[in-house]
Structure formats: structure tokens, C-alpha cells
């Protein structure tokens, strides 16, 4: 009986343990299933077929992805549902465009890895602080053609995410376009949260004067490479504006009111491109010549209403210049033969820039000096169209050599390179004279070199004739010529003339 009781106890214990194990297994399985359900990601939204891409134009391929909501009559940015589509979509757009809408206020953007954001041509007047903090991949921001004012452009709108002790910068932002707003100055700390900014566009804001605060803001951009300050009604630049950004490579000053070259250019030693179009800069003569810019390769000075003369040494310190755009200057009639040459330690050797592209079309030029450059054959683009060329022997080299070179490299640019004087050759293409046997004649007034030779000959003739004339008069007065023996009246008349000459010498 006792043994039977023990067996019964054992069986009950086994059953109980089995039940516990089964329950534990079931619990584990349920937990596993629950865990599986929690970690399974939600399916991605097909963005290209969403309502958002019906509202905007979506484009996606392996190299380029963009959502363009321009001209969509939007008064605000995306709704929360629309942002949710983007954040959970199967496509990540690198470029988002909201241009040409009626957006007036920018609130904080949600987290999204957009790289280029275009908000130009809206009515934006206010921007929230840290508005772009969640756009950690943002590299280019276009806020041009809006209604931003100095008080709107608070430095804190460009704050990044908040870290343990402070706000982080927008570390990947390299380009900011603030052009054509209502800015007249800048807060001195406007760009303190953009330490890596490389391109700043301020064009179309009528600053008139770059005051101290604006100068501090710009000069504090130590990574700046491109600065566009065109059409800002500037007459001068403050000292040391370019002293901070030592890597500055491109400066655009088109459409301002400079009547002389800006003094501050010498503080941009790494400058490679300079645009000065549409400024009333006068003659590049005397002290109004370019400072030493050893790396400058591209220079544009076009549409300048007051530019008449390029004097000696004007470009002499630009010894790395390869492209010069000097076009559509209606009064430009003279380029000095020494405009580009620079003296060296050897007085018999001059240094010239390695010019490759020279555009001097649509000016008032009549002649071109052969010695303006040492190696004309290295110039691959030479545009001489729409000038007032003189077609005589003073321009023989231009007609017979340079025009042939242009015809070999860029034949279309031989069109509209025509004679203006003499009248008999007016409108005749120079290339026609180059390819035909022609005798290019020179009148006394035909060229400055001929005028010089004529004057020299005239002076030498006068110097030779004066002593001969004086000697003849002296001999006559002494009666050596036999002219005072026959006619007293004639003798008296000659005597009176001699007295006149004596008085003239006195």
C-alpha cells in the first residue's frame, strides 16, 4: 500500500512538472510572437503613387531624386500627413522645391535628409528659430526673392540640433542664397551657426553701404569661396572685408556704382575669378590698375559705360590670367601695348599672362597692337567682332595674320569683323582682305605710327633748313650773291624784310 502511494505521488509530480514546462513553453512562444510583431517594420509607402506626387512633380532615378512643388499655389509647407509620406516612403528625395508659391512663414522642418532646399520666389517674412535644425544633411538653401529683413534674419534661425551644452551648427550647409530680399545690412553674428559656408549670395539687396556689422558677418566666414554682391548699389567696400575668408576664389560685383577698382582686392590673394561688369569704372590708368592677384584666371569687365582706355600696366600684375571678357564697352577705344606686360629682373625680357580666351567684341576699337601679347598663337578663343577697325597698313598684322588664325580656330568669329575706315572699304570683312591680294595703303593720318614718322621728318627738315636760310640771308646782306647791285628799290625792299627778321629773332 505504501509502495502504491509512492508511485501515485511520483505520477502526480511528473504530470505537474510537465504542465509547468508546457505553460512555460507556451509563454515563451507568445512572448516570441509578440517580439516578432513589435520588430517587424511597417511596409514602405509607395511615394511615386501617393497623393503628394499627384500634387507635386516627383522624379527619381539612381542619380537624381527631386520633388518639385513649384507654382502649386501653396500657402504653407507640407502637412503632417504629407511629411509622413516622405519620411516613410520608399524614395528619399535629395532636392525639394517650393519656388513660386505664396508661403509667408517658415516653421521648423521635421526630420528629413534633404540636401538641396529651394524656397525662392515666395513671400517669406518670418522664419522660426532652429527652423532647419532637423535637416541634418542640408547643403544648399535658397531663400532668394522673398521679403526677408534684417530683423527676420536672426542668427538663431540657422541653429542646429541641441547637444548636451549648446546648439550644434548646421555642419553640412555650404551654400546660402539670400539674394533679392529687403536686406540693408546683416547682424554681425548672422552666420555664426554656418561655419562651413562656402557660397554666399547677397545680390539684389540694396545695401548701398556695407556697414560694420555686415562686414563682420561676411569676414567671419572663414571657409567662404564664392561671394556674390552684385546689384547692391555699392560705391566702395570696407577695408579688410576680404581679410578673413582667405580661401575666397570668386567675387561677383556686377551692377554696382564703383568708379574705381575696389581697394580691398589685394586682400584676396587666392582670388581666381572676378566679375566687375556694369560698373562706371573709368580709365584703367595711373594708380587705378589691378593689384597683384597671382592666381586670378578669369576677369570680366563688360557693359561699362565710362571705360575708354586700358593703360600701361593695367593688367600687368595678373600674371596667371587666362580668360578676359572685355566686351560691350561703348567708349573703349584704346588698349595700351604695355597693358599686360610686366618687367622682369632682365630689362630685355617682359612677362605676359598665359592668355587663352580673349573677348574684346562690341567695343570702339580701331587697332590692335602686335606686341600686346607675346604668344598670340596660344589664344584659342579670340572675339574681335563689332568694332571699328581701320583697314590700312597699320593693321596689316591683324588682317593678314590674326584673322587667318581666327579663321582656323573659330571661323564663325570672323563674321562681323569688318572695316570701318577708310570709307572705300567700310563693311568689308577683314578676312576677305586677308585672303585676297591687297595693297593696304596708309595715309598720313592713317595711324599713330605714321603720324609720328611724319612729325619726326618735319622736325628734321626744319632743323636742316633753318641754318641754310640764315646762311643765305647773311650772304645776301654782305652782297655776296650779287643781288644788291642793279636795283636800288629791290635792295631797299630786301633790306626792310631783313629788319623784320631781326626783330623776330629778338
**Is 419 domain-assigned?**
no
Residue of 344, 342, 339 lying closest to 358 (CA atoms): 339
Q: How far apart are CA 296 and CA 271, in angstroms?
A: 5
Is residue 120 domain-resident?
Answer: yes
What φ, ψ does residue 364 adopt, rounded to 5°? -115, 35
Taken in order 233, 238, 241, 243, is the CA torsion positive or negative?
A: positive
Q: Give a yes or no: residue 106 inside a domain.
A: yes
pLDDT in tens, 413-434: 999 999 999 999 999 999 999 8
Report yes or no on 144 lying in a domain. Answer: yes
Neighbours of 81 (CB within 10 A): 10
Residues 107 and 128 sit within 8 Å (Cβ to Cβ): yes
pLDDT at 460: 58
- In tens, the pLDDT along 474-498 reads 554 555 554 444 443 434 333 333 3
113-130 pLDDT, tens digit per residue, is: 999 999 999 999 999 999
- The answer to the question of residue 399 being in a domain is no
> pLDDT tens-digit profile of 69-108?
999 999 999 999 999 999 999 999 999 999 999 999 999 9
Q: By residue range, what is the domain housing residue 133?
A: 44-197
Residue 367 lies inside a defined structural domain of this protein = no
- CATH number for the domain that contains residue 107: 3.80.10.10
- What burial class does residue 14 get, using C-beta atoms within 10 Å of its C-beta: 0-12 exposed, 13-18 middle, 19+ buried? exposed
Which cell numbers hold the place of 438? Answer: 591687297
Cβ-based burial of 194 (10 A; exposed 0-12, middle 13-18, buried ≥19): buried
At 376, is the secondary structure helix, strand, or coil? helix
Q: What size, in residues, is the chain?
A: 506
Say how many domains are in the chain: 1
Residue range 344-357: average pLDDT?
91
Would 104 be classed as within a structural domain?
yes
Using a cut of 0.85, tell me whether the model's pTM lies above it: no
166 part of a folded domain = yes
Q: What letters, b where the CB count within 10 A reaches 16 and e where it falls short, cover 117-140? A: bbbbbbebbbbeebbbbebbebbb
Q: Where does 270-392 show beta strands of DSSP type E?
A: 273-275, 298-300, 309-310, 323-325, 334-335, 342-343, 350-351, 357-359, 381-383, 389-390
CA atoms 385, 388, 393, 395: torsion sign: negative
Q: How high does pLDDT run on average in the chain?
A: 86
pLDDT category, 505, cuts 50, 70, 90? very low
Half-sphere exposure of 104 (CA within 13 A, CB side): 1
Contact criterion met (CB below 8 Å) for 363 and 332: yes
Residue pLDDT, tens place only, 222-278: 999 999 999 999 999 999 999 999 999 999 999 999 999 998 999 999 999 999 999
Residue 162's contacts (CB-CB under 8 Å, 6 or more residues apart) are: 133, 168
**pLDDT of 19 strictly over 70:** no
Amino acid at each position: 500500500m505504501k509502495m502504491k502511494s509512492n508511485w501515485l505521488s511520483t505520477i502526480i509530480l511528473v504530470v505537474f512538472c510537465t504542465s509547468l514546462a508546457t505553460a512555460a513553453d507556451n509563454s515563451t512562444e507568445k512572448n516570441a510572437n509578440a517580439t516578432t510583431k513589435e520588430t517587424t517594420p511597417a511596409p514602405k509607402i509607395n511615394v511615386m503613387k501617393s497623393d503628394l506626387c499627384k500634387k507635386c512633380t516627383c522624379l527619381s532615378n539612381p542619380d537624381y531624386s527631386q520633388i518639385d512643388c513649384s507654382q502649386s499655389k501653396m500657402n504653407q509647407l507640407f502637412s503632417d500627413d504629407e511629411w509622413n509620406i516622405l519620411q516613410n516612403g520608399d524614395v528619399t528625395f535629395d532636392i525639394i522645391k517650393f519656388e513660386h508659391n505664396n508661403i509667408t512663414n517658415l516653421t521648423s522642418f521635421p526630420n528629413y535628409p534633404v540636401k538641396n532646399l529651394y524656397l525662392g520666389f515666395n513671400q517669406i517674412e518670418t522664419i522660426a528659430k532652429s527652423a532647419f535644425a532637423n535637416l541634418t544633411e542640408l547643403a544648399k538653401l535658397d531663400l532668394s526673392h522673398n521679403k526677408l529683413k534684417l530683423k527676420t534674419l536672426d542668427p538663431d534661425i540657422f541653429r542646429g540640433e541641441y547637444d548636451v551644452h549648446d546648439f550644434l551648427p548646421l555642419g553640412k550647409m555650404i551654400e546660402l542664397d539670400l539674394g533679392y530680399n529687403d536686406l540693408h545690412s546683416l547682424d554681425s553674428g548672422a552666420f555664426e551657426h554656418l561655419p562651413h559656408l562656402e557660397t554666399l549670395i547677397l545680390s539684389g539687396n540694396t545695401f548701398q553701404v556695407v556697414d560694420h556689422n555686415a562686414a563682420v558677418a561676411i569676414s567671419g566666414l572663414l571657409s567662404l569661396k564664392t561671394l556674390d554682391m552684385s546689384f547692391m548699389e555699392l560705391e566702395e567696400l570696407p577695408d579688410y572685408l576680404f581679410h578673413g575668408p582667405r580661401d575666397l576664389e570668386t567675387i561677383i560685383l556686377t551692377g554696382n556704382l564703383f568708379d574705381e577698382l575696389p581697394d580691398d582686392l589685394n586682400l584676396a590673394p587666392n582670388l581666381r575669378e572676378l566679375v566687375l561688369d556694369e560698373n562706371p569704372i573709368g580709365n584703367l590708368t595711373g594708380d587705378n590698375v589691378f593689384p597683384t592677384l597671382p592666381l586670378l584666371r578669369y576677369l570680366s569687365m563688360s557693359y561699362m559705360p565710362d571705360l575708354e582706355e586700358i593703360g600701361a600696366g593695367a593688367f600687368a600684375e595678373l600674371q596667371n590670367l587666362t580668360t578676359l571678357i572685355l566686351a560691350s564697352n561703348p567708349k573703349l577705344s584704346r588698349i595700351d601695348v604695355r597693358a599686360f606686360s610686366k618687367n622682369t629682373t632682365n630689362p630685355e625680357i617682359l612677362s605676359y599672362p598665359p592668355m587663352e580666351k580673349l573677348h574684346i567684341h562690341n567695343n570702339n576699337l580701331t587697332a590692335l597692337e602686335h606686341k600686346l601679347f607675346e604668344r598670340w598663337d596660344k589664344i584659342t578663343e579670340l572675339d574681335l567682332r563689332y568694332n571699328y577697325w581701320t583697314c590700312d597698313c597699320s593693321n596689316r598684322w591683324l588682317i593678314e595674320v590674326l584673322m587667318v588664325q581666327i579663321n582656323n580656330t573659330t571661323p564663325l568669329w570672323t563674321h562681323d569683323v569688318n572695316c570701318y575706315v577708310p570709307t572705300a572699304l567700310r563693311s568689308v570683312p577683314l578676312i576677305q582682305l586677308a585672303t585676297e591680294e591687297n595693297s593696304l595703303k596708309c595715309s598720313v593720318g592713317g595711324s599713330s605710327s605714321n603720324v609720328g614718322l611724319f612729325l619726326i621728318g618735319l622736325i628734321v627738315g626744319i632743323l636742316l633748313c633753318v641754318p641754310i636760310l640764315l646762311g643765305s640771308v647773311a650772304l645776301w646782306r654782305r652782297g655776296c650773291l650779287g643781288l644788291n647791285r642793279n636795283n636800288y628799290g629791290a635792295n631797299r625792299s630786301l633790306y626792310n624784310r631783313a629788319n623784320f627778321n631781326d626783330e623776330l629773332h629778338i
